[in-house]
Structure 1
């Protein structure tokens, strides 16, 4: 047991102190900062976007009250030639040409540079409103009549459930924010798996490639070595998760007094929104990282050179990618899809899909516990199986591929059993 802790501590400290871990730890914060500044820059760019407007021909637009407010955001020109001169001298970013033909707006924008999609969408919305007002004026309709025609139909969705007696009960619907948390869990799980699968496979393959593994196993049991390596990497992953949770807590403490946060918390409590859902999501996240890490360690022990690690962990990558795509695509478009329900009981995939089901459905506790039981049983079986194969795998140097090494490992393990 003492040697196990020595290996665990060595692997943990070596990875924690590495520059790559620091970069990996700071990457999400840098990405968030980049998105923030890009958003700020984009909004400032849209605010600085200067446009001119020219009304071509005789127009009934001047009599519209809505057009007066619309025209205030533009620099008006009497003629198209005057607007083109201003556009040529870089005084304008774009020139909007408007005319009315048979009570229909015809618009053309002249621009030397492409306008942002946000600017174009806003312009299209405003012109559509003007078109409606123009048609209403032609038909002799008043403003109140137009508003009554355009009155949208709102659907009030009420989440309900039934108690043991079959009585209907109304519930608050928190599926929106829960879906966001479920999607974040899916994305984080995929990132952690891809990252740490490579790290743990390289950790094992590097010692095997230098032939130092034979020396290590002469003084340490293969099981202690395997569990030590695995535990060290998992502690690194847990450290990263802990840093993110602590950062979220600090950020919440700083911004909790903002009016928007106060208004949100006045209507809902964190317990009401998340409750058991958040606990189960974190459990699935951690178990997902663990089971893929064990599979990556098994694959890494089959290669003879560090250069072959990327090929060895392809099964891990493809399997996690399958769960990621199912959870992300169907989770957003159709969370009640049969594929989501079925894969929520399949190990390696349930960590992706069960949080999506929990976010959108009233999944019975028995089904959640059944899914967790299958996942935990598979994890324990995989750990025992991998630890037994580990000694055979790390002593095999086969350049014919991972399947040839796996076959040779089975033969060696079978011979050892017969000797014992």
Structure 2
């Protein structure tokens, strides 16, 4: 047991003290800082886009100019040729030419030297639609109030309910948006951690095997002890990264809690929604997901003969994780009741991605989550035990004929032991 902790501590200290871990730890903070600074200076900037507007109807051009949002400045120009001259002299950022056809059909064309972005295009499209609607309403003899009533959208809301022992319906607190945000974030975090630590743990094992030092190591300790020690050391590195991010979030919360968007979001959820059953299940699925993929990556790393082949041998781990990630981000997010999602949410390696999303969308019950979690736990234990048993044979096999040949030779050695 003492050798086990020595191996785990050595792996942990070596990786935590490395420059690559420090960079990996700081990347999210750097990206977050860049986004924050860009957003801050963008909000402080007083510069707005100036768009020249010309039309055969001066009244129409003036109407659009008066309807300009705060982020834009619409400037009426006398003609298209005058607008082109202003655009050439950079007096305006773009030229919007509006033509009127029969039946008050408006056609708008935006001219600019560079792409103005979808935000500008949508703004102009909405402004044009509003004016066209008003023109046709006047033609039909409708008042402004009547047009407003026609354009008023219907009210829609979703209410979470539950039933008491008397089978009476009671209104519950709707935390669906919060749950969905957590499940979506956990899907991304899980994929990033799997890809990162699958490479680290496979490289850790392959490097020792590539230097042929493994025979010396196994002469002083059991293969299973070495395997579990390596695995625990890398998982402690992952836990350290999670703890650092959790601490950073807790500290940064003091600065962001007074922001209107964050404040409104927090006010809309309950403490039970934050620390409730859903979050606990999500965290457990996240940790077990990282663990089972780490075991598989360690097994793949033990099959490598040369260190430079590590990236090739962990491709099955990468592709398997990518399948779960794509299913979670695309299909599960938009159609959580899909039969494919319901089936794969019970399959190990995929359930860590999909079951939290099903829980967030309330298409799976707590009982469903417990069944899926039980299958994942049993599969993780069996895979870990099998991988540890195969590890003793794998690390002593040096075969340049490929992964399948190495596996075949490893099974032969394992049977003879």
Q: Quote the offset at 1:68 in angstroms.
A: 3.2
Tell me by how many angstroms 1:167 deviates.
Answer: 2.4
For the residue of structure 1 that corresponds to 2:109, the secondary structure is strand
1:69 aligns with 2:70: no
Aligned residue runs from structure 1 range 354-373, under 5 A:
354-361=355-362, 363-373=364-374
Give, in angstroms, the shift of residue 325 of structure 1: 1.1
Distance 1:352 1:372, change over 3 A: same
Is the Cα contact below 8 Å between 1:61 and 1:134 reproduced in 2?
no
SS in 1 for 2:49: coil
Contact 1:46–1:119 (CA under 8 A) maintained in structure 2: no
Name the counterpart of 1:93. 93
Q: Hey, what does 1:177 align to over in structure 2? A: 178
Aligned-residue CA RMSD (Å): 2.2
1:141 maps to 142
Q: Tell me the distance in 2 between the aligned counterparts of 1:86 and 1:299.
A: 65
More off after superposition, 155-164 vs 6-15 = 155-164
Which residue of the partner structure matches residue 205 of structure 2? 204
Work out the CA distance in 2 between the residues paired with 1:267 and 1:321: 33
Deviations 1:201-231 (A, max 9, x none): 1101111111011011111111111111101
Instruction: Give me the whole-angstrom Cα distance separating, in 2, the residues matched to 1:67 and 1:75.
Output: 6
Q: Hey, what does 2:310 align to over in structure 1? A: 309
| Matching of residue 275 in structure 1 with residue 276 in structure 2 | yes
CA contact (8 A) 2:55 2:61 kept: no
Contact kept? 2:67, 2:127, Cα under 8 Å = no
1:7 aligns with 2:7: yes
| Contact 1:347–1:378 (8 Å) recurs in 2 | yes
Q: CA deviation at 1:69?
A: 3.3
- CA offsets, 1:52-84, max 9 Å, x none? 12232x4553796x7633499312222333222
In the TM superposition, what is the alpha-carbon distance from 1:397 to its structure 2 partner? 0.4
Cα distance in 1 for partners of 2:258, 2:94 equals: 42
- Deviation of 1:178 (Å): 1.0
Offset of residue 255 of structure 1: 2.4
2:380 aligns to what? 379
Q: Aligned partners of 1:77 and 1:152: how far apart in 2? A: 35
Contact 2:61 2:76 in 1 (8 A): no
Deviations 1:128-181 (A, max 9, x none): 111111111222211011111112112232222333443222222211221111
Question: Unaligned 5+ residue runs, structure 1?
Answer: none
Q: Distance between the aligned counterparts of 1:331 and 1:41, measured in 2? A: 37
- Segments of 5+ residues of structure 2 without an aligned counterpart are none
Shifted more, 95-104 versus 394-403: the winner is 95-104
Aligned residues: 414
For 1:296, the equivalent position in structure 2 comes to: 297
Q: Which residue of 2 aligns with 1:129?
A: 130
Q: What's the secondary structure of 1:114's corresponding residue?
A: coil
SS at match of 1:381: helix
Q: Do structure 1's residue 33 and structure 2's residue 33 form an aligned pair?
A: yes
Report what 1:162 is aligned to: 163
Q: How does 1:36-55 map to 2 (within 5 A)?
A: 36-39=36-39, 47-55=47-55
Maintained 8 Å contact 1:59/1:99: no
Q: Distance in 1 between matches of 2:68 and 2:370?
A: 59
TM-score (norm 1): 0.92
Q: Please give the residue correspondences for 1:234-245 in structure 2 after superposition, counting only pairs within 5 Å.
A: 234-245=235-246
Match of 1:50, SS state, is strand
Q: Deviation at 1:364?
A: 2.9
2:80 alignment counterpart? 80
C-alpha separation in 1, matches of 2:192 and 2:62: 58
Structure 1 range deviating more: 236-245 or 340-349: 340-349
TM-score normalised by structure 2 residue count: 0.93
Change (3 A) 1:409 1:223: same
Structure-1 residue corresponding to 2:116: 115
Query: Which has the larger displacement, 45-54 or 231-240?
Result: 45-54
- Is the CA contact 2:65–2:74 (under 8 Å) kept in the aligned structure 1? no
